[in-house]
Amino acid sequence: MKGLLHEWLRRRLQTPYRSLRFKLMTFFLLVAIIPLLSLGVLSYRSSSSLTHNQFGKYGQYAVTQVQNQVDAQLNQMKITAESIYSYLLDPTKSVITEEVPRTYRQIQEKNDFEDFLKALKSDDYTRIYVITQSGYYYGDNDLYMSMLEQESWWKDFSSSHTDEYWIGMHPAIYYKEGSKNAGEDVIGLILPIRNQQGPLENARILIEMKADKIYNLFHLLERDTNAHVALRGNSNQSIYKTNDHFIPHADDVIWTSLLKTNDWTIEARLSYQQFYRSTAVIRSYTVIGLAGAMLLAMLLAYWLSSRLTGRIKHLKNLMLKAGTGQLEARFTIDSDDELGVLGRSFNNMLEQIQSLFDEVARTEKLKKEAELRAMHYQINPHLLFNTLNSIQWKARLQGNEEIRQMLYHLTVVLEGNLDLSQELVTVEQELKRIDHFLSIQRIRFGEVFDYERDIDERAIHCLIPRMSLQPLFENIFFHGFEDGAGRIVLRLKAENDYLQMILEDDGRGIDEARLRTLLQAETPKTTRGGLGLYNVDQKFKLHFGPGFGLRIESTKGKGTTITFVWPRREETEDGRAN
Amino acid sequence: MKKSVIVLTSMLLLSMLALSACGSSGSGNSGNNGGNAAAGKDNGSEQQTAGGSSQEPVTIRFATWDTGQSLQFEQEVAKQFEQKHPNIKVQVEPYGDGFDQKMSAGFGAGDPPDVMYMYNFPTYKESLEPLDSYIEKDADLNIDDFYPGLLNYDRIDGVTYGLPVGFTTRVVYYNKKLFDEAGVAYPQDGWTWDDLKQMAVKLTDKSKKQYGIGMRASVDVYGLQGTVWSNGGSYVSDDGKQIDGYMNGKETVEALETQSNAIKDGYGVLVGGKNQQSGDDIFKAGKIAMWETGLWPLQGFKDANMDFGTVVTPAFGDKPLKGVINESAISIAKDSKHKEEAWEFLKFFVSPESIKIRTADLPVRSSTAKEMNLSEDPLYKPFYTMLDRSTNIPAFLLNPKWDQIDSNLATAVEAIMLGNDAQDAMDQAVKDSEKYLNH
* Per-residue pLDDT tens over the stretch B259-317: 999 999 999 999 988 888 889 999 999 999 999 999 999 999 999 999 999 999 999 99
Tell me how far apart the alpha carbons of residues A357 and A71 are, in angstroms, rounded to a whole number.
106
Q: What is the pLDDT of residues A443-458, one digit of tens each?
A: 888 888 899 989 888 8
Which of B1, B278, B410 is closest, CB to CB, to A178? B278
Q: Which of A418-432, A481-495, B59-73, B101-115 has the lowest mean pLDDT?
A: A418-432
Of A193-197, A413-417, B73-77, B219-223, which one has max mean pLDDT? B73-77
Chain A residues touching chain B at CB-CB below 8 Å: 101-104, 107-108, 111, 115, 123, 135-137, 141, 143-146, 176-178, 300, 304, 307-308, 334-339
Confidence of residue B168 (pLDDT cuts 50, 70, 90): very high
The arithmetic mean of pLDDT across residues B80-84, rounded, is: 93
Q: Residue A140: closest CA among chain B residues belongs to which residue?
A: B274
The arithmetic mean of pLDDT across residues B154-181, rounded, is: 94
Interface residue of B6, B247, B275 to substitute, partner A, most A CBs within 10 Å: B275
Confidence of residue A379 (pLDDT cuts 50, 70, 90): low
Which of B217, B275, B420 is closest, CB to CB, to A146? B275
Mean pLDDT across chain A: 83
Q: Residue B422: closest CA among chain A residues belongs to which residue?
A: A104
Which of B4, B7, B414 is closest, CB to CB, to A107? B414
The arithmetic mean of pLDDT across residues B339-355, rounded, is: 93
Amino acid at A489: V
Which of A123, A141, A307 is closest, CB to CB, to B272? A141
Residue A4 to residues A7, A10, A13, A17, Cα–Cα distance (Å): 5, 10, 14, 21
Q: How far is B411 from chain A (nearest CA, A)?
A: 6
Task: Please list, in sequence order, all residues whose beta carbon lies within 8 angstroms of the beta carbon of residue A262, skipping any fewer than 6 positions away.
Answer: A74, A164, A166, A234
For residue A569, what pLDDT is reported?
Answer: 84
| pLDDT at residue A417 greater than cutoff 80 | no
| pLDDT at residue B96 greater than cutoff 80 | yes
Query: How much of chain B exceeds pLDDT 90, in percent?
Result: 69
For residue A578, what pLDDT is reported?
Answer: 44
**Of residues A384 and B289, more confidently modeled:** B289
Portion 210-229 of B in contact with A at CB < 8 A: 217-218
Confidence of residue B9 (pLDDT cuts 50, 70, 90): very low
Q: How far is B208 from chain A (nearest CA, A)?
A: 21
Answer yes or no: do B1 and A338 touch at CB < 8 A: yes
Contacts of B8 in chain A (CB under 8 A): 300, 304
Closest CA to B419 of B270, B273, B283: B270
Answer yes or no: do B281 and A178 touch at CB < 8 A: yes
For residue B213, what pLDDT is reported?
Answer: 95
Q: What is the DSSP string of B329-366?
A: EEEEBTT-S-HHHHHHHHHHHTSHHHHHT--SSB-SBH
Task: Please list, in sequence order, all residues whose beta carbon lies within 8 angstroms of the beta carbon of residue B78, skipping any fewer than 6 positions away.
Answer: B62, B90, B92, B345
Phi/psi at B205 (nearest 5 deg)? -140, 95
Contacts of A293 in chain B (CB under 8 A): none
Answer yes or no: do B415 and A104 touch at CB < 8 A: yes
Answer yes or no: do B275 and A145 touch at CB < 8 A: yes
Sign of the alpha-carbon dihedral angle for B386, B387, B391, B392: positive
The arithmetic mean of pLDDT across residues A255-264, rounded, is: 88
Contacts of B272 in chain A (CB under 8 A): 141
Answer yes or no: do A335 and B3 touch at CB < 8 A: yes
Phi/psi at A130 (nearest 5 deg)? -115, 120
| pLDDT at residue A375 greater than cutoff 70 | no
Instruction: Kindly compute the dihedral angle of the four CA atoms of residues B316, B320, B321, B327, in this order, to the nearest 10 degrees.
Output: -140
Answer yes or no: do A108 and B280 touch at CB < 8 A: no
| pLDDT at residue A50 greater than cutoff 50 | yes
Q: Residue A340: closest CA among chain B residues belongs to which residue?
A: B1
Answer yes or no: do B407 and A111 touch at CB < 8 A: yes
Answer yes or no: do A177 and B281 touch at CB < 8 A: yes
| pLDDT at residue B52 greater than cutoff 60 | no
Q: Is B404 on the interface with A (CB under 8 A)?
A: no
The arithmetic mean of pLDDT across residues A509-518, rounded, is: 80
Amino acid at B339: K
Q: Is B5 on the interface with A (CB under 8 A)?
A: no
Tell me how far apart the alpha carbons of residues B370 and A513 are, in angstroms, rounded to a whole number.
149
Q: Which of A218-222, A522-526, B134-138, B266-270 has the lowest mean pLDDT?
A: A522-526
Q: Is B429 on the interface with A (CB under 8 A)?
A: yes
End-to-end CA distance of chain B: 111
Interface residue of A99, A104, A118 to substitute, partner B, most B CBs within 10 Å: A104
Confidence of residue A1 (pLDDT cuts 50, 70, 90): low
Q: Is B413 on the interface with A (CB under 8 A)?
A: no
The arithmetic mean of pLDDT across residues B344-363, rounded, is: 91
Query: How much of chain A exceeds pLDDT 90, in percent?
Result: 11
Tell me how far apart the alpha carbons of residues A389 and A400 are, in angstroms, rounded to a whole number.
14
Amino acid at A469: L
Residue A180 to residues B67, B302, B316, Cα–Cα distance (Å): 11, 22, 37
Closest CA to A138 of A177, A99, A103, A106: A99
The arithmetic mean of pLDDT across residues A170-181, rounded, is: 84
Contacts of A178 in chain B (CB under 8 A): 278, 280-281
Q: How far is A144 from chain B (nearest CA, A)?
A: 5
Answer yes or no: do B411 and A336 touch at CB < 8 A: no
Answer yes or no: do A339 and B1 touch at CB < 8 A: yes
Q: What is the pLDDT of residues B184-215, one digit of tens each?
A: 999 999 999 999 999 999 999 999 999 999 99
Portion 261-290 of B in contact with A at CB < 8 A: 272-275, 277-278, 280-281
